[in-house]
């Protein structure tokens, strides 16, 4: 039974990918034994499962995911957070304040105000309720330094790399702290804005060229070249 594509081929919604003994994976669906693409992306198959890595997609919350979001509104007992998803997220005051929350006394906007950035974890989410966030773990909370960038959420795994190898390399070579929100929002904090911008450009390159083989080598090359440049500038 056949597949109808070449590895990493660009496909559009509705394109017939396979027929017969295959399973519909990411961004595909099955109708009468035929598998079709649901989104524009690059198609591949692994162990009889046909997947499309979407080039354009939005983030759907999953419990346990680390996300980076912006405070949109300060409410009566919590905050509304924009996590770049069809669903707005909520962060309860009780999650942030270590003591019992008294609505009359506590001024929530002093803790987190509209426009603030936070790193949080999806604590709960289901079809009937908006996602609830928590910042009650180490590494989570308000962001005070660094720059924010966005990539298509489906590319985050590629930015991480196999066993974290890609992201570790970027962190090491640029000296930046990088937090990858699974909702496609990334926080880069470095010693200088130049370091941060360089890390961001490396990540952007991964997003754009992830489907072209030899990416790891190219990124390694890019980082080395920059290191040399930085050294040269220092000498001058």
Partner 1 sequence: MNEKTEKLIDKKGIRLDGRKADELRPIKLQVGVLGNADGSAYIEHGKNKILAAAFGPREMHPKHLALPDRMVLRCRYHMAPFSVQERKSPAPSRREIELSKVIRESLEPALFLELYPRTGIDLYVEVLQADGGTRCAAITAAALAIADAGVPMRDLVVACAAGKIDDTVVLDLYDAEDKLGAADVPLAYMPALNAVTLLQMDGVLSPDEFEKAVDMAMTGCKKIYEMQKEALKTKYMVVKEVEE
Q: Is 51 in the site for partner 1 (CB under 8 A)?
A: no
Q: How far apart are CA 165 and CA 163, in angstroms?
A: 5
Contacts of 167 (CB under 8 A, 6+ apart): 159, 160, 161, 178, 180
Q: Tell me the number of residues near partner 1 by CB under 8 A.
A: 31
Cα distances from 23 to residues 31, 57, 176, in angstroms, run: 11, 21, 40
Q: Is the Cβ of residue 55 or residue 176 nearer to partner 1 in the bound state?
A: 55
Q: Is 54 in the site for partner 1 (CB under 8 A)?
A: yes
Q: Is 39 in the site for partner 1 (CB under 8 A)?
A: yes
Q: 22 is written with which tokens?
A: 């295959």
- Identify which of 124, 146, 142, 141 has the alpha carbon closest to the alpha carbon of residue 133: 124
By CB under 8 A, name the one of 211, 216, 220, 230 that touches partner 1: 211
Q: Of 132-171, which residues contact partner 1 (CB under 8 A)? A: 152
Q: Is 201 in the site for partner 1 (CB under 8 A)?
A: no
Q: Is 87 in the site for partner 1 (CB under 8 A)?
A: yes
Q: How far is the CB of 208 from partner 1 (least distance, A)?
A: 6
Q: Which stretch binds partner 1 (CB under 8 A): 110-118, 140-148, 162-170, 203-211?
A: 203-211
Q: How far apart are CA 184 and CA 49, in angstroms?
A: 25
Q: 215 is written with which tokens?
A: 């990416």
Q: 117 is written with which tokens?
A: 């950035």
Q: Is 229 in the site for partner 1 (CB under 8 A)?
A: no
What is the dihedral angle through the alpha carbons of 111, 115, 117, 121, rounded to the nearest 10 degrees? 80
Using CB under 8 A, list all residues that contact partner 1. Answer: 10, 12-16, 27, 29, 31, 36, 38-40, 54-58, 60, 86-88, 127-128, 152, 208-209, 211-212, 214, 218
């Amino acid at each position: 039974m056949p597949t109808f594509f070449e590895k990493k081929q660009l496909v559009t919604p509705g394109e017939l990918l396979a027929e017969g003994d295959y399973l519909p994976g990411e961004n595909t669906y099955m109708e009468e034994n035929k598998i079709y693409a649901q989104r524009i992306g690059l198609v591949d198959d692994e162990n009889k499962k046909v997947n499309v890595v979407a080039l354009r997609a939005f983030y759907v919350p999953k419990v346990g995911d680390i996300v980076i979001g912006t405070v949109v509104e300060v409410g009566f007992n919590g905050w509304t957070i924009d996590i770049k998803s069809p669903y707005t997220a909520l962060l309860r005051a009780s999650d942030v304040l270590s003591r019992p929350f008294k609505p009359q006394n506590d001024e929530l906007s002093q803790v987190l105000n509209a426009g603030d950035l936070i790193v949080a974890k999806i604590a709960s989410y289901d079809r009937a309720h908006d996602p609830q966030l928590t910042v009650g773990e180490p590494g989570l909370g308000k962001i005070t330094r660094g720059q924010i960038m966005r990539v298509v959420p489906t590319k985050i795994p590629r930015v991480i790399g196999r066993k974290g190898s890609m992201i570790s390399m970027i962190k090491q070579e640029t000296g930046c702290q990088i937090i990858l929100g699974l909702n496609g929002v990334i926080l880069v904090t470095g010693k200088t804005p130049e370091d941060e911008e360089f890390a961001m450009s490396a990540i952007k390159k991964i997003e754009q060229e992830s489907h072209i083989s030899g990416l790891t080598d190219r990124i390694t090359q890019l980082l080395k070249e920059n290191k040399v440049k930085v050294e040269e500038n220092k000498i001058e």
